[in-house]
Structure 1
Amino acid sequence: MEFFREFSQNFHPLSEDALNRIFNILSIKKFPKNYELVSLGQKPTNIYILKEGIIRSYNIDIKGKEHTKTLYTPVITSGNLGALIKNEPSELIYECLTDCEVLECDYHDFYKLSLQHHEISIFHYKILQNIYIREESKILELQMLDATQRYKKLQENYPNIDNLINQYHIASYLNITPVQLSRIRNSYNY
């Protein structure tokens, strides 16, 4: 679980005791491309730390069009936090866009640990802060940047993304059509 040890250092240093307590509720899982970690309407139970691969969260509008909310790449947390906290069915689908390797953890087991151990509670809080900042940043990008700027930013954050996932998913994440994405890519000789 060296991977988790390094991951945790990015948020809050944990003692060996705290690490061992968390190790006991973690498992390493591998999922194939197109696997749904969370299906629409499913009550999720797990959170994930992405070690390898790309996951997306998305929903489908009444016309059947998919809207990608988030792209998850290593090393980042994934899971439908809103549905987990509210204990409600998911309004989002979480799908592996590539073969993925994750650390999987039952959210409620982790939450119980955070209530019992102060340093795990701080770690939990730091992760939630990170998720909030990440989501706020995405909202600001959609409001403040045009499609070309959003694409450039995506390229900076995920340098090889064009070679890893379908262009349709990239366009959906950028909130543009595949045709618009093609024009942007052609104008910059991507």
Structure 2
Amino acid sequence: MENIITFFTNIMPLSEKTIGLMSSIFVSDELRKGEFFIKKGEFAKEIAFLETGIVRAYYINIDGKEYNKTFFSAPSIIGSYASLISKQKNEVAQQALTDCKIWKASFQKIEELSEGNYEIERLRRTIAESFFLSNEKKEIEMALLDADKRYLILREEYPGIELKIPQYHIAAYLGISPTQLSRIRKSLSR
């Protein structure tokens, strides 16, 4: 629980009362490598703090090809925010790429606590804004940068990720084939 409190208080200072409220709704759990936090077609009901491990958010096109939308590397918040807000079925699955320790909470409870606590409401808004900025950054990178530059950014943003997950997941994140990724890695190692 200490790591989740540190994560939240690094985003913004929280009173002891708010820390107590937040601590009361988060429950420790695990995701084993390959398990899903949420699948496509499910209705999201929870969010989680990713204390250890790596989770991917991905979708599959009509041809069956997987695209990794993003990686969540601890410490981070995971969950289908779009499904939670819209009350629609989830479109982007979230799957553990490594064994993970998480702290999950009912989104309904978070909403209830937000109604009476300005700090929790502000924390939620700050986290949502951070996700928005991160998504926009990735969209711009995918549209404007070549694969070499996107790969270098990935290595900077997720240090050591290449040693933790299969290369085909990295290729799917970059929007290239595993063969192209191999060529990029080879050219950068010279």
Sort the TM-score into its range (normalised by shorter chain).
over 0.9
Q: Within 5 Å, give how 1:22-33 maps onto structure 2.
A: 22-33=22-33
1:110 aligns with 2:110: yes
Q: Within 5 Å, give how 1:59-78 maps onto structure 2.
A: 59-78=59-78
Deviations 1:74-119 (A, max 9, x none): 1111111001111111111110000001111111211111121111
**2:28 touches 2:103 (CA, 8 Å); kept in 1?**
yes
Quote the Cα distance in structure 1 between the aligned partners of 2:19 and 2:88: 29
* Secondary structure at the counterpart of residue 159 of structure 1: coil
Partner of 2:130: 130
Partner of 1:101: 101
Partner of 2:144: 144
| Identity fraction in percent | 35
- When normalised by structure 1's length, the TM-score is 0.96
1:120 aligns with 2:120: yes
Alignment gaps of 5+ in structure 1: none
* Secondary structure at the counterpart of residue 188 of structure 1: helix
List structure 1 runs of 4+ shifted beyond 6 angstroms.
Answer: none
Q: Which amino acid aligns with 2:145?
A: L
Quote the Cα distance in structure 2 between the aligned partners of 1:98 and 1:118: 35
* Secondary structure at the counterpart of residue 189 of structure 2: coil
Alignment gaps of 5+ in structure 2: none
* Secondary structure at the counterpart of residue 121 of structure 1: helix
* Secondary structure at the counterpart of residue 11 of structure 2: coil
Partner of 1:44: 44
1:90 aligns with 2:60: no
Q: Which amino acid aligns with 2:173?
A: Y
- When normalised by structure 2's length, the TM-score is 0.96
**2:4 touches 2:51 (CA, 8 Å); kept in 1?**
no
Aligned residue pairs, count: 190
CA drift of 1:58 comes to: 0.5
CA drift of 1:39 comes to: 1.0
Quote the Cα distance in structure 1 between the aligned partners of 2:62 and 2:5: 43
Quote the Cα distance in structure 1 between the aligned partners of 2:152 and 2:5: 32
CA drift of 1:42 comes to: 0.7
Partner of 1:160: 160
RMSD: 1.1
* Secondary structure at the counterpart of residue 13 of structure 2: coil
CA drift of 1:10 comes to: 2.0
Partner of 1:183: 183
* Secondary structure at the counterpart of residue 10 of structure 1: helix
* Secondary structure at the counterpart of residue 176 of structure 1: coil
